[in-house]
Amino acid sequence: MGPNSGSDEGPGSDSNAGSGIKATETTFAIVDALADRGRARLTEIADAVDVANSTASDHLRTLRDHGYVVAEEDGYRLSLKFMDTGERAKRHYRDLLEAADPVLEQLVAETGETVNLVAEENGRGVYVDRRVGERGVPTDSWVGRGKPLHTISAGKAILAELPGERRAELLEGGLAAVSDRTTTSRDDLEDELAAVREEGVAFNDRESHERIRAVGAPIVLEGDVYGAVSVAGPAKRLTGSYFREEIPDLLLGAVNEIELKLAYR
């Protein structure tokens, strides 16, 4: 299991040109609209996706026939078949999850914070596992959620260890800001990634959320980047030596243990 090579794609102009098939894009836009709303009526979905009611109805009927949407009196909602599909998708990370499981639990016990296992998929940092300690706080992250790599500590840890050509490919679209502290300069990010390679850890100082800090470390085996582990918590608690020294030391030990487990699995 090495690094993936996919990239984000934009919408196609028709069914035969561009980077995607228009009808398929409409279907996934409807899925996203339902995911955002939880439940919605036909007209609301059609408005959200900017298609005719009849078009939305055809797509919803197909999704329902294949078990991905449930039609109820007060509207449509996504079905649990997406959970089944998601569990199957996680099988790709079976070795990583098995190696990381006891290590993540120990890290949660040692810090009491939120601990994440992140992998790169299609140019984004996707949460593969997530544990919340007794001091952990709710955030806008969950298993399956993807975020721009340059905005999170685990994502920067992954970027730092990728081959230069692959890193350039992932960053060629620019660095969008998600907070007023997000690094948007390519040169500044490259300087930061050089420091990550030297120190072994990456920092997120309120770059993905104004009230969150995090520390991440990459999981690398024989040149392949399997992912990264991060510890996240409230910015007012993750300060000073706790943020810059204690958590990094714990993380480095944790990822070393995961790498050893992967090597001798």
- The per-residue pLDDT for range 100-129, each reduced to its tens digit, is 999 999 999 999 999 999 999 999 999 999
Same domain, 103 and 64: no
Same domain, 129 and 259: yes
Could you tell me the two tokens for 212? 């969150």
pLDDT, mean over the chain: 90
CA–CA distance, 46 with 53 (Å, rounded to integer): 5
CATH number for the domain spanning 47: value is 1.10.10.10
Q: What mean pLDDT is predicted for residues 236-244?
A: 96
Q: What is the pLDDT of residues 181-227, one digit of tens each?
A: 999 999 999 999 999 999 999 999 999 999 999 999 999 999 999 99
Domain region containing 232: 91-263
Same domain, 201 and 71: no
Same domain, 151 and 253: yes
CA–CA distance, 30 with 97 (Å, rounded to integer): 31
Q: What is the DSSP string of 111-169?
A: H-SEEEEEEEETTEEEEEEEEE-TT----S--TT-EEEGGGSHHHHHHHHHS-HHHHHH
Residue 150 vs residues 100, 124, 159, 170, 192: alpha-carbon distances, Å: 23, 9, 8, 10, 10
Same domain, 240 and 127: yes
> Angle between the 153-161 and 186-199 helix axes, to the nearest 10 degrees?
80
Q: What is the pTM of this model?
A: 0.82
For the chain, what is the domain count? 2
CATH number for the domain spanning 226: value is 3.30.450.40
Which residue has tokens 């090495």?
A: 2
| pLDDT score at 181 | 94
Assigned domain for 15 exists: no
CA–CA distance, 71 with 90 (Å, rounded to integer): 28
Closest CA to 213 of 177, 182, 237: 237
| pLDDT score at 140 | 78
